[in-house]
Structure 1
């Protein structure tokens, strides 16, 4: 097995840890369509560590801090492994299109290695982890990037469909500091909504929540700000702050104690 193949296998395992620190919503691939990655090298690898402050589940009013590793591997600006999955993509002037695999960690009542759990979930049962397939497109329109991602999860008991749409504006302040603001909205089908926000008859008996049936619709809207600062040609620190507002059935659910959620992720990485 080549060194590059071993690196990809190790990175794939690390992705699971960092995925635990982000929302279960379908996220845009991290590789910025504005970035110029044609450096003459086939491989661009970034390794690092960080930490995340995140709700214990989507709709929770309690938070937890999770230590996370950072892995980002890009091959020939066509294949990328980042904390949200494995992707292949192509660029055509201002258009980037691609697809790949992502992962949803599900949700547990009591908590575990990848999920903190919450007492408010008692009686609702666990949601299994799921592999997801997705396609995405980003288009650069002047200083603005328009993006969309369609994700389908494939596990029994976690098979919903998500559509994420966003508008982002990057701002390169100088050679070292780059900031990007992004507004987004996520639509979910009825299956996803019922899985994460619904309460069926058995769950109602076990948990004490009133039965609650969901419908498809906008799950959440939000704002995200990313900032990265290059300490040296190889070292970089970054921060990602995201605020999300639940909507529709997700906001009306008895499970949703807080409709507004906040996530903060900070990392330091070394690029080889």
Structure 2
């Protein structure tokens, strides 16, 4: 996987496989949607420089047990979602890789590059959530809320990440859908210290001022808002080819936004755009 792909947030990545809308669940108990696209993302979290990256994604279900990817994270729902009332209780494991600043050549800002690279984090944990089909616009729209909790087990930042999220999707017809999402990241103090603090040696190397407040305690690191849409090329979103587009805005918060890595070398305002194609079997 390419560096910084972790930046593609949940609703953006979901754009490549929300093509299997709620009305399809009434008819099929197994499916697979595979997608590939390109996304313009910040060169690191907090950067004001952007790169274009390929983004492969997939989602599916086997006998009503669902699985999906969000960027470099894999979710597996251990509870089958075949409830006739349209209620889906989610519970299962999640594993993710975080590549932020793990390669100097992918960091465009000279000062941040001189701070040195970070190790790849492997974050393992679980998630719980609930969704309901047939909520607002039709019998087929879907509103869901979930929270994921993971911890780095690879010895990179060595901390935890808590990600609450709310997503809403509605099919406009059998050939089109729109979806939106809101999410946030709450991180432990070791996370802030690893990615956002600047020590004396780093300051001497980069020219950025010494900064240590981001590692003083846990807190909300950012909030994200995203919008996605798709259109079938085969006349039915449940089968065949479809095209997708998505956009996202994130705001880095608090002491993380005040870090010179963000406030001087980058920006607290983070934008992502993506387009792609997918195929549903």
Give 1:238's match in structure 2, choosing from 223, 230, 244.
Answer: 244
Distance (whole Å) between structure 1 residues aligned to residue 166 and residue 29 of structure 2: 31
Give 1:87's match in structure 2, choosing from 75, 79, 82.
Answer: 75
Provide the residue aligned with 1:225 in structure 2: 227
Q: Post-superposition shift, 1:73?
A: 4.9
Whether the 8 Å CA contact 1:230–1:236 is kept in 2: the answer is yes
SS in 2 for 1:94: strand
**Structure 2: unaligned runs, 5 residues or longer:** 137-142
For the structure 1 residues 253 and 243, does the alpha-carbon distance in structure 2 shift closer, same or farther, using more than 3 Å as the test?
Answer: same
Give deviations 1:16-44, integer Å, cap 9, x for gaps. Answer: 34x7434177x4894769745475565x3
Pairing 1:192–2:182 present = no
Q: Post-superposition shift, 1:200?
A: 1.8
For the structure 1 residues 136 and 79, does the alpha-carbon distance in structure 2 shift closer, same or farther, using more than 3 Å as the test?
Answer: same
Compare relative contact order (CA 8 Å, sep 6+) and give the higher one, 1 or 2: 2
Runs of 4+ in 1 over 6 A off after TM superposition: 31-34
Provide the residue aligned with 1:64 in structure 2: 51
Whether the 8 Å CA contact 2:182–2:225 is kept in 1: the answer is yes
Give 1:248's match in structure 2, choosing from 241, 254, 270.
Answer: 254
Distance (whole Å) between structure 2 residues aligned to residue 199 and residue 109 of structure 1: 18
In the superposition, the TM-score normalised over structure 2's length comes to: 0.78
Distance (whole Å) between structure 2 residues aligned to residue 201 and residue 69 of structure 1: 39
Paired residues for 1:58-207 under 5 Å: 58-78=45-65, 80-82=67-69, 83-89=71-77, 90=79, 91=81, 93-108=87-102, 110-111=104-105, 115-140=106-131, 142-143=135-136, 144-207=143-206
Whether the 8 Å CA contact 1:22–1:54 is kept in 2: the answer is no
Report how many residues are paired.
251
Give deviations 1:122-153, integer Å, cap 9, x for gaps. Answer: 33121111221121122235453222111212
Distance (whole Å) between structure 2 residues aligned to residue 117 and residue 106 of structure 1: 13
Provide the residue aligned with 1:7 in structure 2: none
Whether the 8 Å CA contact 1:179–1:226 is kept in 2: the answer is yes
Distance (whole Å) between structure 1 residues aligned to residue 26 and residue 72 of structure 2: 22
Q: Post-superposition shift, 1:219?
A: 0.5
Pairing 1:47–2:34 present = yes
Whether the 8 Å CA contact 2:114–2:205 is kept in 1: the answer is yes
Distance (whole Å) between structure 2 residues aligned to residue 224 and residue 163 of structure 1: 18
In the superposition, the TM-score normalised over structure 1's length comes to: 0.81
**Structure 1: unaligned runs, 5 residues or longer:** 1-15
